[in-house]
Structure formats: structure tokens, C-alpha cells
Amino acid sequence: MPEKSPGWEGTILAFVMIATVLIGIAYSIALVYEIPVPWAILLIIAAIAALWLRRRGRK
């Protein structure tokens, strides 16, 4: 029987994709401009973005 509420698979996939892009951008910035970018902040931003996309998709 299908679930009534949507699963978390899409949100987790969005988090992983957003985190991958952000880490790639941060790595490029760190190489070019020699500016350290904290990866923990990138993961928090990716989590917030994924949860925002999940919330926006429900409306």
C-alpha cells in the first residue's frame, strides 16, 4: 500500500546534490583565492536548502 505522506528520499537526494555542488564551488574558491571555506557551514546550508525545497514542494 502506498504511503500517504511523501518519503524523505527526495530530500536526501536534494541534500546530497546541493552539498556536492557547494563543496565543488568552495574547493574551487579555496584553490583560486586561497580562502579557506568551512565545510560544516556548507553542509548546514545544503540541509537548509533541501528542507526548504521539501517544504516548498508540499504547498
4-49 confidence digits (pLDDT tens): 667 899 999 999 999 999 999 999 999 999 988 899 999 999 999 9
**CA end-to-end span of the chain, whole Å?**
24
| Distance of alpha carbon 15 from alpha carbon 45, whole angstroms | 9
User: Is residue 5 in some structural domain?
Assistant: no
pTM of the entire predicted model: 0.82
Q: Which amino acid is at 38?
A: P
User: Is residue 4 in some structural domain?
Assistant: no
Region label for 6, one of left (φ > 0), alpha (ψ between -120 and 50) or beta (otherwise): beta
Going by pLDDT thresholds of 50, 70 and 90, the confidence category of residue 56 is confident
- Number of compact structural domains in the chain: 1
pLDDT at 1: 54
User: Is residue 41 in some structural domain?
Assistant: yes
